[in-house]
Chains A and B, each alone.
Chain A
Amino acid sequence: MAEIRLDNIRKTFGKVVAVQDISLTVPDGEFIVLLGPSGCGKTTLLRCIAGLEQVDHGRVFIGGRDVTGLAPRSRDIAMVFQSYAVFPHMTVFDNIAFGLHMQKQPSAEIKRRVQAAAGLLQIETLLDRYPAQLSGGQRQRVAVARALVMEPAVLLLDEPLSNLDAKLRLRMRTELKRLHKMVEYTIVYVTHDQVEAMSLADRMAVMNQGVLIQEGAPLEIYNRPQNVFVAGFIGSPPINFLKARLMEKDGDLFVATQDFALQLPPDRAARARESARSNDVVLGIRPQDVHELARVGWTEGDNRIRATVDVIEPLGDAVVVTVVTGEGSLQITLPADTRAQVDQPLELVVDVNRVHLFDPQTEEAIF
């Protein structure tokens, strides 16, 4: 168990900057998720922590110790690879015991610890098998057990669930979270799946093009995205972005798209007046923040949209509805028992306390 501190980490491959001057502190025992699209440098950053990549500059501290120049084996880490990297020529037992053998632990101790790790991951019955005789899910458990048995200061996981089928992925997700509750290791977890990230993380670090864009608790990032990229990357279905203008009318501030205008509540209006550099803005509306007028009833302020239903996609517990608002369209989620019907008009209410405004030039959030 240990804190990880990354100090200005940079890693380049030829001319490509994979990780650009990232500083990040992961407190002892935290489950942090590095999230970003493929190629954003999250795996490279993880490999820099592991010591599988040498950083160009910057320092890596694990448990207060500078490990920047050290080999992976001297860093007190363990890693689960995306491919699992289970050794095909060894039994499950020998796979899990591999690291302990390298440490020259006495064989009774090895046996005890392998049994314990196998028990934790419910693979005690598979110890004599070879990896070729295991399913993908079982191999994944072997890889996790092999890492856990080392009792490392830091556990690194590189997209460990991405090779599992959807159902198994959900189950392992829950198990990983339970595992973290039990072992309380510091865990760095890399994924491109925002749902996986939100559900697992104590804290998320969102990356794009080698840069750390925003870090924080999952809900904090969901509710207050720092820029267009984060807002667009997190949330499903994705947030709606609309070109809009800020307009004053009788002392109220409206944000107007080509199809509709929303009246901003006073506190938000004040923030917009203060921070917006011009009247042009990008309006971000999450699908979950639009409701049916018929269900909400009367609303205060001017925040209604007249729309026509284009497509309805039932998900079981909800429906995703694509509505045409005139020139543009919106994707919204409504409860499963919605009265919306294809090609019929639908009156909508936008929760203006939850919409986002962004500067179109810098793409930074105004709120």
Chain B
Amino acid sequence: MKRINLAPGASRALVYLLATLMALWVLFPIYLVGVAAFSPRQVIYEWPKAIVPRTWSLETMLFFLNSHGVLASTRNSVLVALITLAISLVLGAPAGYALARFPFRGRDTFRILVLSTRAFPIVILSIPLAVSFIQWGMYDSLLSVALMHTALALPFTILVTSSVFAGVPYDLEEAAMTLGCNRLQAFLRVALPLTLPGLAAAAIFTFVLSWNEVFAAVILTLRNRTLPAQVLTVLNESPIPFRFAGGFFMLAPALVFIFIIRRYLFNLWGRVVK
């Protein structure tokens, strides 16, 4: 391949240009949604739109929040996300720890197996799952949505926590054991404090994963909808301002959380992918 020689400054500028374009591609719609969510109703219908809004208003946002089912489904979403977070950490962190620390037989197979659970498209699984949940009498319950989200999040939790634990040399725990700790104390006093930020990042990511998940939530619930399921269901018969406000309301927490943990995500993916 012929290499195009650019001055170092020029190629740098090109990289920045592309990065800027990609960032705009993502950020501009978010910006528009955000602006619309905080504009008065009549402004939303205006055309052409002003890039910088002249008037601010909470009217649209309040309209969305006061709509039927929004607050209840928000509460549902938070609950489901919290349950998902708790179960995936309780199940996933020990698995991650084992993957990181113990060279047990079949470890690599297990690692692949964990990932392969994500290979089945949820679209294919959804009908059998819905049927099963109905048969078990667990249909339309928050717990079943949380279980489903846990199944989706668990591979991620396991692999990420495993790389978080792998980042703490085992030497440190062994040193603690020679200094009077048993295994558990060594973990609690040395490994846990050092991995806490990484584990928190994994937890937040799990939370966001559940918060954003819509497909399983729609399939598995009828009255106890989570927020994305609720918004999706009523989307078609909703006025435009409602859609903007709903979009922003769902987007904001995910954005904020990802922003907080972005440093860890870079690290984690770097290590998981290898």
> What is the number of contacts between chain A and chain B, taking CB atoms within 8 Å?
54
Contact (Cβ within 8 A) B179 A83? no
Contact (Cβ within 8 A) B179 A146? yes
A98's closest neighbor in chain B, by CB?
Answer: B179
Q: Which of A84-92, A204-212, A250-258, A358-366 contacts B (4 or more CB under 8 A)?
A: A84-92
Q: Is B272 an interface residue, CB under 8 A from the partner?
A: no
Please measure, in the bound complex, the distance between the C-alpha atom of A99 and the C-alpha atom of B180, giving whole angstroms.
Answer: 6
B173's closest neighbor in chain A, by CB?
Answer: A85
Task: Return the contact of B171 from the options A51, A73, A81 (Cβ within 8 A).
Answer: A81
A25 to chain B, nearest CB (A): 22
A73's closest neighbor in chain B, by CB?
Answer: B180
B172, B174, B180, B193 pick with most chain A CB within 10 angstroms: B180
Please measure, in the bound complex, the distance between the C-alpha atom of A81 and the C-alpha atom of B176, giving whole angstroms.
Answer: 11
Q: Is A294 an interface residue, CB under 8 A from the partner?
A: no
Q: Is A77 an interface residue, CB under 8 A from the partner?
A: yes
Contact (Cβ within 8 A) B179 A71? no
Contact (Cβ within 8 A) A77 B178? yes
Q: Contact residue range for chain B? A: 10 to 19
Please measure, in the bound complex, the distance between the C-alpha atom of A108 and the C-alpha atom of B198, giving whole angstroms.
Answer: 36
Contact (Cβ within 8 A) B178 A79? yes
Q: Is A110 an interface residue, CB under 8 A from the partner?
A: no
Contact (Cβ within 8 A) B169 A73? no
Q: List residues of chain A with CB within 8 A of the CB of B174.
A: 52, 72, 81, 85
Please measure, in the bound complex, the distance between the C-alpha atom of A103 and the C-alpha atom of B175, giving whole angstroms.
Answer: 15
A103's closest neighbor in chain B, by CB?
Answer: B180
Knowing A52-B174, A88-B194 are in contact, say whether A102-B169 is a contact too (CB < 8 A): no
Q: Is A150 an interface residue, CB under 8 A from the partner?
A: yes
Contact (Cβ within 8 A) B176 A71? no
Contact (Cβ within 8 A) B181 A102? yes
Q: Is A340 an interface residue, CB under 8 A from the partner?
A: no
B189 to chain A, nearest CB (A): 8
Q: Is B11 an interface residue, CB under 8 A from the partner?
A: no
Contact (Cβ within 8 A) A71 B182? yes
Q: Is B265 an interface residue, CB under 8 A from the partner?
A: no
Q: Is B114 an interface residue, CB under 8 A from the partner?
A: no
Please measure, in the bound complex, the distance between the C-alpha atom of A102 and the C-alpha atom of B178, giving whole angstroms.
Answer: 11
Knowing A81-B171, A83-B169 are in contact, say whether A89-B194 is a contact too (CB < 8 A): yes
Please measure, in the bound complex, the distance between the C-alpha atom of A72 and the C-alpha atom of B175, giving whole angstroms.
Answer: 9
Q: What mask results when residues 86 to 113 of chain A are scored 1 for a CB within 8 Å of chain B, else 0?
A: 0111000000001100110000000000
Q: Is A35 an interface residue, CB under 8 A from the partner?
A: no
Please measure, in the bound complex, the distance between the C-alpha atom of A51 and the C-alpha atom of B182, giving whole angstroms.
Answer: 12
Task: Name B171-202 residues within 8 Å CB distance of A.
Answer: 171-172, 174-182, 185, 190, 193-194
Q: List residues of chain B with CB within 8 A of the CB of A102.
A: 179-181, 185
Q: Is A332 an interface residue, CB under 8 A from the partner?
A: no
Please measure, in the bound complex, the distance between the C-alpha atom of A102 and the C-alpha atom of B182, giving whole angstroms.
Answer: 10
A335 to chain B, nearest CB (A): 45
Please measure, in the bound complex, the distance between the C-alpha atom of A72 and the C-alpha atom of B182, giving whole angstroms.
Answer: 8
Knowing A87-B190, A88-B194 are in contact, say whether A52-B177 is a contact too (CB < 8 A): yes
B29 to chain A, nearest CB (A): 42
B169's closest neighbor in chain A, by CB?
Answer: A83
Please measure, in the bound complex, the distance between the C-alpha atom of A82 and the C-alpha atom of B169, giving whole angstroms.
Answer: 12
Contact (Cβ within 8 A) B177 A72? yes
Knowing A83-B169, A83-B171, A87-B172 are in contact, say whether A150-B182 is a contact too (CB < 8 A): no
Knowing A52-B174, A79-B175 are in contact, say whether A85-B169 is a contact too (CB < 8 A): yes
Q: Is A197 an interface residue, CB under 8 A from the partner?
A: no
Contact (Cβ within 8 A) B172 A73? no
A308 to chain B, nearest CB (A): 52
B170's closest neighbor in chain A, by CB?
Answer: A85
Please measure, in the bound complex, the distance between the C-alpha atom of A85 and the C-alpha atom of B191, giving whole angstroms.
Answer: 12
Q: List residues of chain A with CB within 8 A of the CB of B185.
A: 102
Knowing A81-B171, A83-B171, A87-B172 are in contact, say whether A71-B194 is a contact too (CB < 8 A): no
A104's closest neighbor in chain B, by CB?
Answer: B180
Task: Name B100-147 residues within 8 Å CB distance of A.
Answer: none
Q: List residues of chain A with CB within 8 A of the CB of B180.
A: 73, 98-99, 102-103
Q: What mask results when residues 122 to 139 of chain A are scored 1 for a CB within 8 Å of chain B, else 0?
A: 000000000000000000
Contact (Cβ within 8 A) A73 B175? no
12 extra interchain contacts, Cβ-Cβ under 8 A, other than A71-B177, A85-B172, A89-B193? A51-B178, A73-B179, A73-B180, A78-B178, A79-B178, A81-B171, A83-B171, A85-B169, A85-B174, A87-B190, A99-B180, A102-B181
Write 13 A-B pairs (CB below 8 A) sorted by A numbering.
A50-B178, A71-B177, A73-B180, A78-B179, A79-B178, A81-B175, A83-B169, A85-B169, A87-B172, A89-B190, A98-B179, A99-B179, A103-B180
Pairs A-B, 3 closest by C-beta atoms: A102-B180, A99-B179, A85-B175
Which B residues lie at the A interface, using CB under 8 A?
Answer: 169, 171-172, 174-182, 185, 190, 193-194
